Copies of this chain bind each other. A is one copy, B any other.
Amino acid sequence: MSTPSSTVHPSSWRATGAAELTPEAIDQIDRWWRAANYLSVGQIYLLDNPLMREPLTRDHVKPRLLGHWGTTPGLNFLYAHLNRAIREREQSTLYVTGPGHGGPGLVANSYLEGTYSETYSDITQDDEGLRRLFRQFSFPGGIPSHVAPETPGSIHEGGELGYALSHAYGAAFDNPDLLVAAVVGDGEAETGPLATSWHSNKFVNPVQDGVVLPILHLNGYKIANPTVLDRISDDELRDLMTGYGHTPYFFNGGFDGEDPVEVHRRFAGLLDEVLDHIARIKADAHAGNEERPAWPMIVFRTPKGWTCPPVIDGKKTEDSWRAHQVPLASARDTPEHLEVLRGWLESYRADELFDADGRLLPEIADLAPAGELRMSGNPHANGGLLLKDLRLPDFRDFAVDVPTPGGAVAEATRVLGTWLTDVVRNNPDNFRIFGPDETASNRLQAVYDATDKQWNGEFYGPEVDEHLARAGRVMEMLSEHQCQGWLEGYLLTGRHGLFTSYEAFIHIVDSMFNQHAKWLKVTGDIPWRRPVASLNYLLSSHVWRQDHNGFSHQDPGFIDHVVNKKAEIVRVYLPPDANTLLSTYDHCLRSRQYVNVVVAGKQPAPQFLSMEQAIAHCSRGLGIWEWAGTEVVGEDPDVVLGAAGDVPTLEVLAAADILRHRIPDLKVRVVNVVDLMRLQDEKEHPHGLSDKDFDTLFTSDRPVIFNYHGYPWLIHRLTYRRTNHPNIHVRGYKEEGTTTTPFDMAMLNDIDRYHLVIDVIDRVPSLRSTYAGLRQEMVDARLAARQYTREHGEDIPEVREWVWPDVGETATENGGPQYDAAAATGGDNE
């Protein structure tokens, strides 16, 4: 692998013209292609005898044939041709392989380019190296069958399909000299995320961003079916691609016994034409043309399984779905298939490709560009090499002034937005904010003081197009898939960002998160992969405040989904107010190789911690809020009220307020949790608390009422091994919603202050009989509160106007902090 470097080979976007290739040049490409194909077939089938120096026997064939041939020869063909063009144009290029199960092809090309041996020193450029290369593929202890993190040059595994173009565009943003050749499988093209990702071209800036060249690999078949885009007319496909805003270039090659020389000649010409077209667009844009260009894309129609045996066991195989995986599944067990395999391997004429030692002939190797221009050696594909720390403004400067707990009101995400404004200012080319039309809805609109939403569709003028510009740091498209995919591509190529979304709808990208978390887990164990910036979520418009939208917008389960992934990768934060959110996010933007999930409200809410307190609290991740409790130092409390999440915290404090007035002798401890993983055992998660520390906070035998933002059982899952677990009672979201007042929503799920008091009375034995009256009062209060909402359409004044008692006395005099400003500020959007 190349040495760490932040300088990428400059690109000139040269227009070279479509020179007619010499026969030698064509032969070089063809031999590279044959070599890549040979190495691909070898990886799938061969355990030994890599260059067939001895007669092929069953013992040379792997006992379990695992992998995919179908897409591979097409990928190899494109790779060979791109190499010729890259070398001629010195064009820094990244290769994104949509059909990721074409893994053997990408490994083969990396090997031919030399990067594979540079990266893995035991895979040498000789016979023995070839044997190891073949053997390790999809083999126990070896490498995966996909274009996984182990593959040099990859930022896109392609295991789950749909994200090739969004990853490609993510890589292109802010890399003005980078070409991303993105192969889209025609199977993948049927997925939803891919179908909308063509529209990325309305969001890319022709001057400041790089260029994505989509190549639709139309080989006609999926696992067992034709593909949709192959079975519509060329006219329809042309319309579709034109409608997506592209200039389609059609290429059909390799059918009906077409001479490979002819195929190469034609494709080389077309590729030059396309790259010249791109160069012209780039030049135009630099010359000031602001019209959105119809970027070229290539419809690359070639046979599936190209160059494999046309017919196997009497069934058409090449150019059919039967070539998808391993066309000769019983090559080891049936002599006939072994013979077919031998013939197939021999068809590539390895003796014209490798020398006596098994080394690629120099006249073929010469096709590869030099150093970092090799696609398998492009530093953008190992983004950590290029990663620079963000220049972060001091978040303390953006603190909300909280003179006493509850003594200020703020919208947490709006405050975060002010800090992000300076993050944007300080980092004009390596930080972006992604969101599905919700950046303002989630109250980050302060960032528009420093930047705009990048947009390359038509403009209608300032009357309606606020903060919309041809270049900007905010990327908004109504597709969570696009936001996630763009951000992943941006991060994996060494930049920073965050994704802000409604909490409920982040589940749309559950499976994308899975794949990214798996990528991070694997790269953590690959020494040459340098750490990349964390993927940061900001989930607002959360379950408790879906005033406009109700039940369908209520789902706090993304946290549950996330914590199934490796503990070393995932972090979950629930800051209870603005200052804790600032401190948390500063931490997130500094971190590497994590997925950070931060859930924070956007509604006006009381602020509890000064910045100094917030920093201390976030450093600990959880802690006792002494000012809120009534415990006696040195003694265990009678009851612990725990909270994680802003609304649950508010209700816990309101309950603590009632308890201190109504049961003054009760020793109440209030514990707040910001870093959810602190609840887990230290053996389970790097942030986990020791049992001793946990017991100190939550006691070993006192009742704990834990008011949680999400589904209650997650808290049980995290704490079931703790000493005091039998006494932990969790309140959380129970899939009860549709209400339109915040407090009614809390009551429906029993996280409200009155129910918490009931919980305390029910669980502290000494209170049950003595405080039966208060208990009944709480039951009545709930009924009355509900009745009031049905009458008035808003929450009872006691709840709307409640303030923490320390500030109540002075605050009420001058009107006090008011945090039921939802109506005034419009509540949740969408």
Q: Chain A residues in contact with chain B, CB under 8 A?
A: 47, 62-68, 100-101, 138-142, 144-146, 148, 157, 159-162, 187-188, 190-197, 199, 202, 221-228, 231-233, 236-245, 316, 319-321, 324-326, 329-330, 332-333, 437-441, 453, 455, 457-460, 463-466, 468, 476-482, 504-505, 507-508, 510-511, 514-515, 518, 521-522, 547-553, 555, 557, 560-561, 564-566, 711, 713, 716-717, 720, 725, 735, 738-741, 744, 786, 789-790, 792-794, 822-824, 826-827, 829-830
Contacts and interface: CB of A to CB of B under 8 A. Distances in A.
Nearest to A438: B223
Contacts of A329: 823-824, 826
A482 B192 contact: yes
Nearest to A791: B140
The main secondary structure of chain A at its interface with chain B is loop
Given A192-B197, A228-B457, 8 more contacts: A63-B794, A68-B830, A144-B738, A159-B553, A160-B505, A195-B199, A325-B548, A329-B826
A224 B448 CA distance: 13
Contacts of A225: 437, 453, 468, 476, 478
B101 A549 contact: yes
B551 A144 contact: yes
Contacts of A507: 510-511, 514, 561
Contact of A505 (B244, B482, B511, B826): B511
Nearest to A710: B564
Contacts of A67: 548
A514 B555 contact: yes
Contacts of A739: 140-141
Question: Nearest 10 A-B pairs (CB), nearest first?
Answer: A240-B243, A159-B552, A231-B457, A192-B192, A239-B243, A195-B196, A140-B789, A507-B511, A195-B195, A192-B193
A161 B458 CA distance: 24
Nearest to A466: B224
A466 B222 CA distance: 13
Nearest to A822: B64
A514 B733 CA distance: 14
Contacts of A245: 232, 236
Contacts of A237: 243
| A47, A240, A458, A478: residue with the most chain B Cβ atoms closer than 10 Å | A478
24 contacts: A68-B830, A101-B548, A140-B739, A145-B549, A146-B550, A159-B549, A159-B552, A190-B478, A192-B479, A192-B481, A223-B438, A224-B439, A224-B476, A224-B829, A226-B464, A228-B457, A236-B242, A240-B240, A329-B823, A329-B824, A508-B511, A510-B511, A511-B555, A717-B720
Contact of A145 (B197, B325, B439, B548): B548
Contact of A192 (B162, B316, B332): B162
A67 B828 CA distance: 10
A824 B468 CA distance: 58
A64 B823 contact: yes
Nearest to A62: B793
A129 to B, nearest CB: 18
Contacts of A141: 739, 789-790
A823 B63 contact: yes
B160 A222 contact: no
Contacts of A193: 192
B333 A824 contact: yes
Contact of A138 (B233, B548, B829): B548
Contact of A477 (B190, B233, B711): B190
Contact of A826 (B188, B326, B438): B326
Nearest to A222: B437
A224 to B, nearest CB: 5
A743 to B, nearest CB: 10
A236 B232 contact: no
A555 B566 CA distance: 12
A379 to B, nearest CB: 24
A462 to B, nearest CB: 10
A480 B192 CA distance: 8
A508 B160 contact: yes
Given A190-B477, A239-B243, A564 B553 contact: no
A791 to B, nearest CB: 9
A790 B738 contact: no
Contacts of A324: 829
A138 B792 CA distance: 13
Given A316-B464, A740-B139, A238 B243 contact: yes
Contacts of A228: 199, 202, 457, 477
Nearest to A742: B64
A793 B478 contact: no
A293 to B, nearest CB: 13
Contacts of A521: 735
A747 to B, nearest CB: 10
Contact of A161 (B63, B194, B222, B478): B478
A160 B827 contact: no
A785 to B, nearest CB: 10
A47 B792 CA distance: 9
A501 to B, nearest CB: 11
